[in-house]
A and B are shown apart, each in its own frame.
Chain A
Amino acid sequence: MKITRYFEEQVLRKRLSIRREWCQRAVRHPEHRETQADGRVRYWIFVTELQKYLRVVTLEDGETVHNAFPDRGFRGGKP
């Protein structure tokens, strides 16, 4: 899995509950996917261990994981 320096040094450091394999799964098998206005891509999966949705953001290539967090505001793609 390709990752950014920010993901390695800040996201994984601060959000200790996040596992790399969940991020990889989100990118490969997302429940929901959106392309941001800036070209970066958001993916969501529901993580049973967290009992929350996880949002994973990649760079514009759609595969380099840049950010991830348990997204308390996500409602399964519905507004």
Chain B
Amino acid sequence: MKFHYYPETDSLYIDLSEKPSVDSTEVAPGVVLDFDAEGRLVGIDVDRASQIVDLSRIEASELPVTSFSLRKVDHR
């Protein structure tokens, strides 16, 4: 699972799978779900993310995680 956040537009994309999306639906204002060709959820697109999600913390419990990375990009 990957989180991609863009502060300049306050946009968050959560990749649940590497598979591409072929269909999408908006389930709440600014929240769009992406589905693959088999109808499986592959990503979540969140607009104005800071108004919907607490971006300041990530918590996980009992996930079988083998790697974790945080990357800060300097756009200056």
Q: Interface on A for B, CB 8 Å cutoff?
A: 4-6, 9-11, 14-17, 38, 52, 57, 59, 66-67, 69-73
Contacts and interface: CB of A to CB of B under 8 A. Distances in A.
Interface of B: 4, 6, 8-9, 11, 13, 15, 20-26, 32, 34, 42-43, 45, 47-48
Contacts, number: 61
Nearest to A69: B24
Nearest to B43: A14
B24 A71 contact: yes
Contact of B20 (A14, A38, A70): A14
B9 A59 contact: yes
Given A9-B4, A14-B15, A15-B34, A72 B9 contact: no
B9 A10 contact: no
B25 A73 contact: yes
Contact of B23 (A10, A57, A70): A70
